[in-house]
């Protein structure tokens, strides 16, 4: 009987309102989708890439968009030795963004 009560309580808890952690992840996901949209449009790129860009941020932007366009890639695929530093930095940020969307 006690086991049935525990299972029922667990089911009721899981069907209720989102936990604070789930709410935070949902907010972060919305934020990352907005960031991805800004990168696609080329808006505020130096701000998004923490001022690491030189010139027009094209390398960072290319890496970020590549990561978004290739679901399932990991940061190991963003190797700076193969792609260049700015592409790799943008790619790594894109991998994080893609994982939260």
Name the band, by pLDDT with cuts 50, 70 and 90, for residue 16. Answer: low
- 3-state DSSP assignment of residue 69: helix
34-74, pLDDT tens digit by residue?
888 888 888 888 888 888 887 789 999 999 999 989 988 88
91, 77 Cβ separation under 8 angstroms: yes
- For the entire predicted model, the pTM comes to 0.70
Provide the pLDDT for residue 36: 84
């Amino acid at each position: 009987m006690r086991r049935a009560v525990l299972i029922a309580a667990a089911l009721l808890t899981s069907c209720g309102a989102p936990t604070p952690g789930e709410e935070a992840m949902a907010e972060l996901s919305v934020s990352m989708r907005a960031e991805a949209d800004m990168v696609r449009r080329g808006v505020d790129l130096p701000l998004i890439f923490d001022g690491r860009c030189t010139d027009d941020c094209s390398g960072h932007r290319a890496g970020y968009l590549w990561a978004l366009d290739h679901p399932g890639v990991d940061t190991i695929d963003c190797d700076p030795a193969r792609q260049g530093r700015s592409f790799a930095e943008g790619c790594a940020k894109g991998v994080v963004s893609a994982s939260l969307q």
